[in-house]
Amino acid sequence: MLILGINAHHADAAAALYADGRLVAAVAEERLNRVKHCAGFPSLAVAEVLRIANVSLSDVDQVGIARDSKANLAAKAAYVLKHLAGISKVAGKRLKDRAGLGNLEQQLVDAVGSPLSALKARVKRVEHHLCHAASSFFASPFDRAAVLTLDGFGDFASCLAAVGEGSTIRPLWRITYPHSLGILYTAVCQFIGYDRYGDEGKVMGLAPYGEPRYMALFEKLLRLTRGGRYELDLSYFNHHTQGVETGVDERGSPHYDHLFTAKLEAELGKPRPRGPADTITQRERDIAASLQRRLEQAFVHVVSALHAKTGCTDLCLAGGVALNSVANGKLLRETPIRRIYVQPAAGDDGTAVGVASWLSVQASQPRFEMRHGAWGSRFSEQEIARAVSDFAHSGRGAPSQVVRKEEPDLLCDTASELAKGKVVGWFQGAMEWGPRALGQRSILAHPGHPGMKELLNARIKHREPFRPFAPSVIAERQSEYFDSGHDSPFMLMVYGTRPEKRSELCAVDHVDHTGRVQTVHKSDLPLYHGLISEFGRQTGTWVLLNTSFNENEPIVCTPAQALDCFARTQMDVVVLGSHLIKRGIHATSDSTASSVQVGHGR
């Protein structure tokens, strides 16, 4: 049975395909059309997941979307009756946002150039937060677990607390419009000058540079109430009176108008306009620290109540707020939870997997555990060789040495370059699902090289100097470097760096002595595990610095995009499949190198 899931006409449009209960492919539209967090219909992503599976739309048995306007009708009706006088502006904007959802069947067939008769059934609509919940629980290793989803809003809810057992997810409570942790975090990010969609992660990285001296205000902004609930002080927010105007910015990415009112300005002063990092003052750092602290308190509050209700020590998280890896990590220390699962695309792109897995389980298909994130586009050695040849003869960038190597030599030589302090682009196997580079489309570096963080931020990534880089560590060695051995395969948990390892990991040890850890298992990512292991043998450090293969753009998808990024930036080396390319040496070819494909897709 083939089931296609989509997230459409919402930020982070995406598509995912299940076959007989197993995930086959999952791709975000932004990786293909090169527009970060793009909304609209995922036409390219739908076509790509079908191509990866070598099937056509007419082969698909069911299609689902993670939106259902009929969900939470009682809560909607109660809110409308209570706020009749001010509902018209908000309702008008919400109807505008949903306009694209009216003719999904036609949009699907248009995406792949098929007639309408190719569809076997109409698109099924499943509640947004149930899809978030399914994306995590049904992909987790747990038979029974507490399930928590948190975001801005979806189908009138911002939170779903549930218990998952076997093939069922039973909702326990929801928090509905207008109260939302996502709205709180985004509004404050906007106030301190981070007003683009997806900037919340930057503010999470800024927070450790400040002190939470605005806690009294944030305790007013967000009240924690009985039973794991919470409420916003709505006088500081305007989303419930003005609606959330969703548009696109000059780059085609989603954009929301400011969500805060003049009352917040009265408390904190004028908002900081967007600008370079050197315009950030201690006030912004302290606001970020206070915001992050209050979010963590809310996480602990909700999760503690969910544990008390279910007795579960296993927890599945999803929703955009679950991308806050700092808060996720603290749950292991400050609640009775002992194991946490967050699938790599915890945000709205992940609802494409969620709705597909929901429909799959409902159709009595088996559950599937997602252990790695390599579910996107992949390229053969022949395709890579053509792209490398075109690049070598294009004259772009400095003249380069191009050699092709078998896997053992490739790992040894790449690790040697990293050990010498070189910055390496690493392009292997299938593209990652979710916002993090996980060893498929990564820029890698020595985690203990003095000045590496500053060099990467300035020379390669061209971004704010305060933003940290993540450590990828082989699973066998994680506890030697960090204060938790809990798995974090998708870089969604932050742990403390052990004091004796801080110097060895100076480039990935954040200012508060933490790291956003990626746990790498040999069984899941054998090639990447092999590279880290070889680096460990050469240097004694069993960790690599890992950041996304991009420069202020979506992570690269194709070999040509990887080579273009290499040419634009000051990376020293790029490795694509079995090809190793060094900058600054006249092009050569290794006539003795083998043409065998490196690795096996992960």
pLDDT digits (tens, 9 = 90+) for 210-236: 999 999 999 999 999 999 999 999 999
**CATH fold for domain 2-128:** Nucleotidyltransferase; domain 5 (3.30.420)
**In which band, very low, low, confident or very high, does the pLDDT at 135 lie, cut at 50, 70 and 90?**
very high
Least confident of 45-49, 86-90, 299-303: 86-90
Q: pLDDT for 157-202, tens place per residue?
A: 999 999 999 999 999 999 999 999 999 999 999 999 999 999 999 9
**86-90, 365-369, 458-462: least confident range:** 86-90
Amino acid 244: pLDDT: 67
Q: Which CATH number fits domain 381-583: 3.40.50.300, 3.90.870.20, 3.90.1150.10, 3.90.76.10?
A: 3.90.870.20
* Whole-angstrom distance, CA of residue 292 vs CA of residue 243: 25
Decide: 363 and 60 in contact? Cβ < 8 Å.
no
Topology, domain 140-342: Nucleotidyltransferase; domain 5 (3.30.420)
Query: Residue 521 has which token pair?
Result: 């298992």
pLDDT in tens, 14-33: 999 999 999 999 999 999 99
How much is the pLDDT for 587?
38
pLDDT above 70 as % of the chain: 92
Whether the per-residue pLDDT at 92 is higher than 80: the answer is no
Whether residue 246 is predicted with pLDDT greater than 70 in this model: the reply is: no
Amino acid at 190: Q
pLDDT over 60 at 570, yes or no: yes
Phi-psi region of 547 (alpha: psi -120 to 50; beta: other; left: phi over 0): beta
Q: Which of 143-157, 237-251, 302-316 has the lowest mean pLDDT?
A: 237-251
What is the residue whose two structure tokens read 């960090």? 482
Rounded to an integer, the average pLDDT of 515-527 is: 98
Q: In degrees rounded to 5, what are phi and psi of residue 303?
A: -65, -35
What average pLDDT does this structure show over 291-306?
A: 98
8 Å CB contact between 70 and 157: no
Mean pLDDT, residues 66-71 taken together: 90
Which parts of 192-245 fold into alpha helices (H)? Answer: 200-206, 215-221, 239-242
Residue 255: the pLDDT is 79
Rounded to a whole number of angstroms, the CA Rg of the chain reads 24
Q: Where do the DSSP E strands lie in 123-167?
A: 124-125, 144-154, 157-165
Strand partners, 3: 18, 62
Using CA atoms, how far residue 442 sits from 140, 290, 386, 527, 551, in Å, is 25, 32, 21, 13, 12
pTM comes to 0.94
Domain range annotation of the chain? 2-128, 140-342, 381-583
Query: Which pLDDT score is estimated for 484?
Result: 97
Q: Looking at this protein, which amino acid is placed at residue 205?
A: G
Residue 217, classified by CB atoms within 10 Å of its CB into exposed (0-12), middle (13-18) or buried (19+), is middle
Element (H, E) at 22: strand 22-28
**Hey, do 140-342 and 381-583 end up sharing a CATH topology, with the first three levels equal?**
no
Mean pLDDT taken over the chain: 92
Does the structure show a pLDDT above 60 at 88?
Answer: no
